[in-house]
Chains A and B, each alone.
Chain A
Amino acid sequence: MKKTLMIMAAEIRTSLRRKSFVIIAIVVPLLLGLIALGIGLVNRNAMETVLADVAASPAPPSALAGYVDAGNLIRTVPADLPADRLLRYDDEAAARAALDAGAIAGYYVIAPDYLQSGAVTYITQDFSVLSDSLDTSLMEQLLLINLLGGDASLASAVQQPFQVQATSLAPVVAASEESWISELFPLFMVLVLYMALIIPGGILVNALIDEKKNRVMEVLMTSVSPAQMVTGKVAALGLLGLLMTALWLGVLWSIARFGGSALSIPAGFSLPTGLLAWALVYFLGGYAIYGAQFAGIGALAPDVNQTKSVTWIVMLPIIVAYMFMAVAFDNPTGPFAVALSLFPLTSSVAMIGRMAATEVPLWQAVLAALLQFVTAYFIIRLTAQMFRAQYLLTGQPLTAKSFYRTLLGRA
Chain B
Amino acid sequence: MSKIWLVAEYQFRKDVFKRSFVLAVFAMPLFLGFIIAMGWLGERMQQQSTTVGYVDAANVLAQAPVSDDDQIEFVRFAAVDEARAALAAGQIDGYYVLPADYPQNREVALVHNGAVSGAVMRTFDETMRRTLLAGQQEQVVERALAGPALAVLAIDRHRTVPLSVPGVGAFVPLILAAVFAFLVMTVAATLMETMAAEKQNRTIEIVVSSISPGQMMAGKILGVVGMALALAACWLALLVGFTWLGANVVQLDWLQDLAIDGRDLALLLLVALPSFLFMAALIVALGATVVDAQEAQQIGAVAFLIIFVPIYLFFAFGDNPNSPLAIAFSLFPMTSVTTLAVRSLFMQVPAGQFVAAALVALVSGVAMIWLAGKLFRANMLRYGQGLRLRQLLRGRASA
Contacts from A to B (Cβ < 8 Å): 19-20, 23-24, 28, 31-32, 35-36, 39, 42-43, 45-47, 49-50, 114-131, 134, 136, 139-140, 143-144, 147-148, 154, 157-158, 160-170, 206, 304-305, 323, 326-327, 330-331
Contact = CB atoms under 8 A, between A and B. Distances in A.
B262 interface: no
Given A127-B157, A161-B125, A147 B140 contact: yes
Contact of B129 (A47, A161, A163): A161
Given A20-B294, A148-B140, A32 B106 contact: no
Interface centre among A123, A128, A170 (most CB of B within 10 A): A128
Nearest to B146: A118
A168 B315 contact: no
A23 B42 contact: no
B154 A124 contact: yes
B152 A122 contact: yes
A153 B293 CA distance: 74
A122 B153 contact: yes
A306 to B, nearest CB: 11
Contacts of A115: 139-140, 143
A239 to B, nearest CB: 21
B143 A118 contact: yes
A165 B148 contact: no
Contacts of A117: 149
Contacts of A118: 143, 146-149
A242 B140 CA distance: 66
B68 interface: no
Interface centre among A31, A115, A154, A161 (most CB of B within 10 A): A161
Contact of A116 (B106, B139, B193): B139
A99 B239 CA distance: 43
Contacts of B197: 305
A326 B315 CA distance: 26
Interface string B219-231: 0000000000000
Interface stretch (B69-77, B109-117, B390-398): B109-117
A120 B129 CA distance: 22
B249 to A, nearest CB: 26
Contacts of B346: 128-130
Interface string B275-317: 0000000000000000011110010011001000100110110
Contacts of B1: none
Interface in B1-56: 34, 38, 41-42, 45-46
Interface in B100-148: 102, 106-115, 121, 125, 128-129, 131-133, 136, 139-140, 143-144, 146-148
A330 B102 CA distance: 39
A165 B109 contact: yes
Main DSSP-derived SS at the B contact region: helix
Contacts of A122: 150-153
Contacts of B144: 144, 147-148, 158
Shortest Cβ-Cβ A-B pairs, 8 listed = A170-B114, A161-B128, A46-B316, A127-B154, A162-B108, A118-B149, A126-B156, A120-B148
Contacts of B46: 330
Interface stretch (B178-186, B318-326, B349-357, B361-369): B318-326
Contact of A126 (B98, B108, B131, B157): B157
B250 interface: no
B160 interface: yes
Given A161-B132, A305-B197, A326-B38, A124 B155 contact: yes
B87 interface: yes
Contact of A32 (B109, B129, B136, B305): B305
Contacts of A116: 139
Contact of B309 (A39, A154, A167): A39
Nearest to B320: A46
B293 A164 contact: no
16 contacts: A28-B302, A46-B316, A46-B320, A117-B149, A118-B148, A123-B155, A124-B153, A127-B152, A128-B320, A139-B148, A148-B133, A154-B132, A158-B133, A161-B129, A168-B112, A170-B115
Contacts of B132: 154, 157-158, 161
B378 interface: no
Interface of B: 34, 38, 41-42, 45-46, 87, 98, 102, 106-115, 121, 125, 128-129, 131-133, 136, 139-140, 143-144, 146-157, 160-161, 163, 193, 197, 292-295, 298, 301-302, 305, 309, 312-313, 315-316, 318-320, 325, 346
Contacts of A140: 147-148, 150
Given A35-B309, A130-B315, A147-B143, A42 B325 contact: yes
B129 to A, nearest CB: 5
Contacts of A32: 305
Given A117-B149, A125-B155, A125-B156, A130 B319 contact: yes
Nearest to B323: A46
Contacts of B193: 305
B119 to A, nearest CB: 15
Given A116-B139, A305-B197, A24 B298 contact: yes
B312 A206 contact: no
A160 B108 CA distance: 12
Given A118-B146, A164-B108, A169-B114, A43 B154 contact: no
A131 B319 contact: yes
Contact of A206 (B102, B114, B152, B294): B294
Given A148-B144, A161-B129, A169 B112 contact: yes
A366 to B, nearest CB: 28
Contact of A162 (B87, B106, B143, B155): B106
A116 B137 CA distance: 12
B107 A163 contact: yes
Contacts of A154: 132
Given A326-B38, A326-B42, A327-B45, A162 B114 contact: no
B215 to A, nearest CB: 27
A331 B140 CA distance: 44
Contacts of A123: 152-153, 155
Contacts of A125: 154-156
Contacts of B38: 323, 326-327
A130 B294 contact: no
Given A42-B313, A136-B163, 9 more contacts: A23-B298, A115-B140, A120-B150, A120-B151, A129-B152, A129-B346, A161-B128, A168-B113, A330-B46
